Amino acid sequence: MKKSIKDLTDLKGKRVLVREDLNVPLDDNKNITDDTRIRAALPTINYLKEKGAKVIVVAHFGRPKGEFKEDMRLTPVAKRLSELLGAPVMKLDDCIGDAVKEKLAELKDGEVALLENIRFYKEEEKNDPEFAKKLAELADIYVNDAFGAAHRAHASTAGVAEFVKPAVSGLLMEKELSALGGLLQNPARPFVAIVGGSKVSTKIGVLDNLIDKVDTLIVGGGMTYTFMKAQGFSVGNSICEDDKLDIARDLMKKAETKGVKLLISEDVLVCDAFSETANTQVVLASAIPDGWEGVDAGAKAIANAKEVILKAKTILWNGPVGVFEIDKFSNGTKAIAEAVAEATKLGAKSVLGGGDTVAAIEKFHIAPEAYSHISTGGGASLEFIEGKVLPGVAALDDK
């Protein structure tokens, strides 16, 4: 267990450096098109404000590759953060150095400052100790609330924690670690995981670790066809990783040995062209015709998945089971989204992860509240589920 800001007793007047993930999308006019990540940071920032801390927020934006770039400044983020807090945010034009220290000296208790894009310095991603030390000079306390960047060993996510103590988690980080940790350490059973997405290669570690934890593993999306081909079936024009067939066979064998039910789509929707106007048909996943491509789960596969999901007490869902972006190919993913929401209503604990999963529930107009927890960290949540150590978490103080 890691310490959180709730474990700190005296915050009044303390300079608190808070790492947040504020990497939001902008349109061509520099308007924020989705402020979800800024909103996710509010509980921690408001908590520190209310306790009378001097809040110094550090964040990255885009991929400036260690150079100052005008179009990647955090000015639009500062404006939106100020609106959501209902209080002015001091926006700085740099993130280290004497000029920054002088400006921060003006910060009063309960006020918020936002440092400039930390990735303007190449030392950030290199986790340069001298750079981390300069960041540390700005603060009395370090708080990491950026779960979405916790799998990066960067100066502002890990290095700085060596030079500032206490180093603790923010409320969002704490919530993520509690939800994902509880899922893997002591899940109510049956525990069902649904893992979709296009490639086995990006999910090998996840699948391997989950087979040790779950009762049923539902594999969907483009990965289906690698598993099918690994069993000797033709997959037509479907996406398939020929160099991962042995891994797929090993995973199937491991599931059988462990007594884990591995549910791979029995039937699939195939198309003759990758478009909304394509001809489609439902076929057995083991009998995809030449020239056709699998793009969604079929009716039997959907029914089988729903039956398992509705009996589950713990559910992890990461990745769509079809090309949900095209309406014609979205039935499987929609059915999974609705089934997980229904199971949650029946008392199951559900945890969703991955940007595509979140995009899917938004497309189908399902409220985030329909699920127990939606992770804000795509890569970080995957690595956590894989059982990997996240540098941004490991650097924090233990309870």
Active-site residue list: 37, 199, 355, 379
- CA distance linking residue 337 with residue 357, whole number of Å: 9
Burial of 255 (0-12, 13-18, 19+ CB in 10 A): buried
- CA distance linking residue 17 with residue 25, whole number of Å: 24
Encoding tokens for residue 156? 């502002």
Which residue do the tokens 């009996």 mark?
311
Give me the DSSP letters along 38-96.
Answer: HHHHHHHHHHHHHTT-EEEEE---S--TTS--GGG-SHHHHHHHHHHHTS-EEE-S-SS
- CA distance linking residue 62 with residue 268, whole number of Å: 37
CB 215 within 8 A of CB 337: no
- CA distance linking residue 244 with residue 182, whole number of Å: 31
Query: Coil, strand or helix: which one is 104?
Result: helix
